[in-house]
Structure 1
């Protein structure tokens, strides 16, 4: 998977034309000058003229330096001549370097830089500044001779890192006209990224303006693609990002950028069939070339894909699926890519969905808890008719990592959807609107009744959900998010109504496990009841219904058996009795649980013993100002 928005980190390079299949949904870190990026195979640009393969990433000076570094005599050495020949070769190499343009100055700069780049022990600030000043005076007239060479480029990077804002601006201005060359250089690209990182808003705009018009070329270049990605993800403003994406529409929108800055791609394509054809051709050409070069995981490419799918017809959607289905997992780690993935899944045929799900299967454990990937999984649950295939694709991953998903902010959302649908408690209006939009897209391709589809999914996943909470309750309940999910599962009337006899028995076993979990001395700080979310969890089971904020009362469950009065009675009999009831009341973290028991068991036949015990300890209740639960209990008992 390609890089995302992590600043000041390093990016791993792709190892093949399909670099991210093993790393789907895990953001890969951003590049720096210390990491070399592996080459990605080049392809011809059908729309733009690009630099030839012989000069894509190296200037002539780079090639000469590489030749010098690799230069070794291949002739057989005569006896006794090996050491002398080697010394002579090193001497000739040094002389050749000195004879180049600015050769002696560059050598002098390197000698100073070797002292500056020492990291252990760190240089004192005064010495560092002195060495920086010395390098500055030696190099300020020779930047163009330094920037494209392996070690010399690192000198300028170090200078940028430690220089003042004014000096950085001077370097920016000195390199004007060379940014495209830097972007396509295997060494210079690191310097360009350094300039973007330490540069100001104005200096970044200078670089963007100079690269403007060449972004489609750079996206097809093995070095330039990484620069464009870093520029888009890490450094460009929202307006600059939009400018960069519009350039992918075609040359007209690159040249006359100010005339089109407020236009949306849908508006342009709806106004002219010819423009739609040109734009879609340009976008598809850039996307196809980039995918072939192994850049499928790039966020800027995902943004271009999102533009394309907005205007694509059914045949073009199929073409995109054919292009991407094997690397589909590389889309889901960015908001733009997740949008593309959801759109393609919603518009895909049953056969195409099968191909997509097959490619996602081995990445399910990373997809489900991903910030954007979980949206793709929910969309799959909402629109894919083949529920058997969905279960086979994701069931094993959910079973193996259930506790991790249940305690994860994003990982639990697909599980919540299975229980409660798009409940507003867990899905914001914006997310609901997006998912409903994808659902609407699938109206032509999804034939099964949504209610039937949901019931089939619940029937298939219910066993995994119950087994998960039943075996991992000791891991899930101590977590705030996990405890909340556990509560929703046990108190979901709709979910319980679909359970068979076997799973109902399993549900009852889980309630027994919950009771055992809260045994122990509540005066010990490690007792789980001291967690605020544990009190809320117990109250949800004791109350016997769901709180309705509009009605301002608890609405009893229609189907669930075992909660409410039965659970409250069982909890009091097995966890609390007359010997420790007062302790629970006087412990401020426990007192609200007693309040919940009182509200549920008061005036019931099952609660007579509890009320009797409560009255017997009433006079000994310590009404501390911090114990709000005890105060409320006494108020209710009046």
Structure 2
């Protein structure tokens, strides 16, 4: 045991002795920085020509031993001590502040040595004044613009590729006259493709085209011909090129640009000035059927390049994809590969972007129509969190209508689309917005009205064209009967729509689109309508003849329903219990009956005379003509007592109220043009005359 312990002790001693040797080595190393610092001090002193006293005082002296150095460092922490960090010297003996000043001076000298340095500096100073529009009077601004043009004229090419100078040129274009703008455009001719690839100069092209001047447009766009493949794949040029294609280019220019997607020969052998060229791939393949293989291959390659780069928001890309899909044989390997590439986008960004362009939305509709049940389910899920925005878009709502028409699984439709369009967690503001939006209202009422002219005015003729195309395709791709599918959708939508009417009847009745929505839902919905009917009746409470400033319930934003033509039509339709059928020339009653006349009468019975002599007098006529109404005699007694007022209203000219939102006028404006030329109606209230006849 002793030997073992001794050996162990020996090991401990050995272990202790080794670090001692290492410590000695470390002490030797510590001496080296002192010598290097000594050399630096000598260099500093020689370079700066400073006194030895100042050099020694700053570092504490070069000849101090190591222990004295540590004491000196500790002493430097006290006030008045000379810390090394107070004045940092580099190898040249300069402090950091002096070094920065010297660097700035060198930078200024380099800038001053550049070409056009003075002109650039003057232009930037003028730009600093011009960009603060509200702080510069008009006369002074014009003087500054003229001065700026004197600087940049003849030197525009030197200015536009500099990120700071190009802003001055953009400001000059913003306030320039037409002649000045054309002069800059002419000076930059031959460089627009290069400018489009510049991170900053690309915005200059947008400034030139923002006025949509045909001469400037025709100078810029032709310079992109033959370079479309390169530019559309460029991270900077792609966006400005697509903006020009979408918003500025003419139909002929769009065709020339899109043709370059079909192969190199369409960019190399283009005829200058030929405006008969078409971008319709079907016509091109009809004239040259032998080129189908190379064209489709090249087109698919360009599409795949942009999709892989996630540059899938281009309108040009969607146009090319639509042309490609329309010319692929149904069920072919090419079509299957094309659709698979779209489905492989797990984020759904491609499909979502497609829904908001004309060609892209049509392609999305065709994909839904041609797909099987599994494909349609995948497409609908990829559109998650986008349906609300799609419903209000002029193209996006077409995809929702197509889903209504082709998806057999109405449970899937109701779970994916309705919660976003109608609102979640009992939030009915979405329904009010959709009911009054020219596009979103179609997504709510399409299952109720179908393709009626009231729902699809002339401004939405494109919707009807796509719907008719989809209806032809679904005959071979969808199994469920169209009427059964429609009724199932109505059943799924009805509870949310009826609840929205019950909660927001006042807001809905105050607008034309809102009244149409209320009438369609109450006539076509399935379920308990009592609360909704009562809310619509309560919206008519109050004296219609009272001035708006004395009304507590209504304001200028919500006029009394009896004072608007659209509410008059809605109440009359609900009292009749159905819509007029042109085929049978009679009212087609709904089942079960609404019995709205008996619900409305208790609300308006105190103001029967005001209703009978106002613009909504036909509501009272409808009450007297209703077979289910039980209070006709009471109305007749009131009217007989006030016969004089009826006669006065029947002969006094009626001043029609022109109200309504811009959206309503936009949707119905084209239909009203056909009414011009008709004879003006007879003076007086025709509804009051009708009531006098019934008395």
For residue 247 of structure 1, give the secondary structure of its aligned residue in structure 2: helix
Residue in 2 aligned with 1:592?
618
Q: Which of 155, 158, 165 is equivalent to 2:171?
A: 158
1:471 aligns with 2:528: no
For residue 511 of structure 1, give the secondary structure of its aligned residue in structure 2: helix
1:519 aligns with 2:541: yes
Residue in 2 aligned with 1:294?
310
Q: State the Cα distance separating 1:199 from its structure 2 match.
A: 6.3
CA distance in structure 1 between the aligned counterparts of 2:290 and 2:245, rounded to whole angstroms:
29
CA distance in structure 2 between the aligned counterparts of 1:398 and 1:211, rounded to whole angstroms:
42
For residue 519 of structure 1, give the secondary structure of its aligned residue in structure 2: coil
Q: Would the aligned equivalents of 2:456 and 2:464 in 1 still touch at CA under 8 Å?
A: yes
Q: State the Cα distance separating 1:477 from its structure 2 match.
A: 2.0
1:557 aligns with 2:589: yes
Match runs of 1:350-429 below 5 Å:
350-400=373-423, 401-428=430-457
Distance 1:91 1:529, change over 3 A: same
Please report the TM-score for the alignment, with normalisation by the length of structure 2. Answer: 0.73
CA distance in structure 2 between the aligned counterparts of 1:76 and 1:337, rounded to whole angstroms:
63
Q: State the Cα distance separating 1:110 from its structure 2 match.
A: 3.0
Distance 1:464 1:117, change over 3 A: closer
Q: Would the aligned equivalents of 1:483 and 1:534 in 2 still touch at CA under 8 Å?
A: yes
CA distance in structure 2 between the aligned counterparts of 1:513 and 1:263, rounded to whole angstroms:
55
Residue in 2 aligned with 1:138?
151
Match runs of 1:508-587 below 5 Å:
508-524=530-546, 525=548, 526=554, 527-549=560-582, 553-557=585-589, 559-563=591-595, 567-572=596-601, 574-577=602-605, 580-586=607-613
CA distance in structure 2 between the aligned counterparts of 1:319 and 1:276, rounded to whole angstroms:
21
Q: State the Cα distance separating 1:442 from its structure 2 match.
A: 3.5
1:188 aligns with 2:215: no
CA distance in structure 2 between the aligned counterparts of 1:335 and 1:273, rounded to whole angstroms:
28
Q: Would the aligned equivalents of 2:258 and 2:279 in 1 still touch at CA under 8 Å?
A: no
Deviation track 1:6-32 (CA, whole Å, cap 9, x = no partner) reads: xxxxxxxxxxxxxxxxxxxxxxxxxxx
Q: State the Cα distance separating 1:487 from its structure 2 match.
A: 0.6
Q: State the Cα distance separating 1:620 from its structure 2 match.
A: 4.6
Q: Which of 312, 319, 343 is equivalent to 1:322?
A: 343
Distance 1:561 1:117, change over 3 A: closer
Distance 1:617 1:166, change over 3 A: closer
Q: Would the aligned equivalents of 2:568 and 2:616 in 1 still touch at CA under 8 Å?
A: yes
Q: Would the aligned equivalents of 2:170 and 2:204 in 1 still touch at CA under 8 Å?
A: yes
1:433 aligns with 2:465: yes
CA distance in structure 1 between the aligned counterparts of 2:96 and 2:620, rounded to whole angstroms:
91
Residue in 1 aligned with 2:643?
618
- After superposing the two structures, state which structure 1 stretch, 154-163 or 273-282, moved more: 273-282
CA distance in structure 1 between the aligned counterparts of 2:583 and 2:238, rounded to whole angstroms:
54
Residue in 2 aligned with 1:178?
191
Residue in 1 aligned with 2:7?
none
Deviation track 1:26-49 (CA, whole Å, cap 9, x = no partner) reads: xxxxxxxxxxxxxxxxxxxxxxxx
Distance 1:568 1:151, change over 3 A: same
Please report the TM-score for the alignment, with normalisation by the length of structure 1. Answer: 0.79
CA distance in structure 1 between the aligned counterparts of 2:502 and 2:295, rounded to whole angstroms:
54
- Structure with higher Rg: it is 2
> What is the aligned length?
546
Distance 1:81 1:266, change over 3 A: same
* 5+ long unaligned stretches in structure 1: 1-73
Q: Which of 119, 123, 127 is equivalent to 1:105?
A: 119
Q: Which has the higher contact order (CA 8 A, sep 6+)?
A: 1
Distance 1:115 1:419, change over 3 A: closer
Distance 1:94 1:611, change over 3 A: same
Q: State the Cα distance separating 1:271 from its structure 2 match.
A: 4.8
Distance 1:519 1:291, change over 3 A: same
Distance 1:411 1:142, change over 3 A: same
Q: State the Cα distance separating 1:380 from its structure 2 match.
A: 0.5
Residue in 2 aligned with 1:94?
108
- After superposing the two structures, state which structure 1 stretch, 186-195 or 445-454, moved more: 445-454
1:447 aligns with 2:479: yes
Residue in 1 aligned with 2:48?
none
Distance 1:311 1:544, change over 3 A: same
Q: Would the aligned equivalents of 1:233 and 1:299 in 2 still touch at CA under 8 Å?
A: yes
For residue 354 of structure 1, give the secondary structure of its aligned residue in structure 2: helix
Distance 1:523 1:425, change over 3 A: closer
Q: Would the aligned equivalents of 2:581 and 2:587 in 1 still touch at CA under 8 Å?
A: yes
Distance 1:536 1:310, change over 3 A: same
Distance 1:610 1:249, change over 3 A: same
Q: Would the aligned equivalents of 1:270 and 1:276 in 2 still touch at CA under 8 Å?
A: no
Deviation track 1:90-116 (CA, whole Å, cap 9, x = no partner) reads: 111122122223334333433444344
Q: State the Cα distance separating 1:309 from its structure 2 match.
A: 1.8
Q: State the Cα distance separating 1:263 from its structure 2 match.
A: 6.2
RMSD value over aligned CA atoms? Answer: 2.7
Residue in 2 aligned with 1:633?
690
Q: Which of 307, 312, 321 is equivalent to 2:323?
A: 307
Distance 1:150 1:135, change over 3 A: same
Q: Would the aligned equivalents of 2:575 and 2:597 in 1 still touch at CA under 8 Å?
A: yes
Distance 1:415 1:114, change over 3 A: closer
Q: Which of 76, 80, 84 is equivalent to 2:98?
A: 84
CA distance in structure 2 between the aligned counterparts of 1:316 and 1:275, rounded to whole angstroms:
20
- After superposing the two structures, state which structure 1 stretch, 100-109 or 337-346, moved more: 100-109
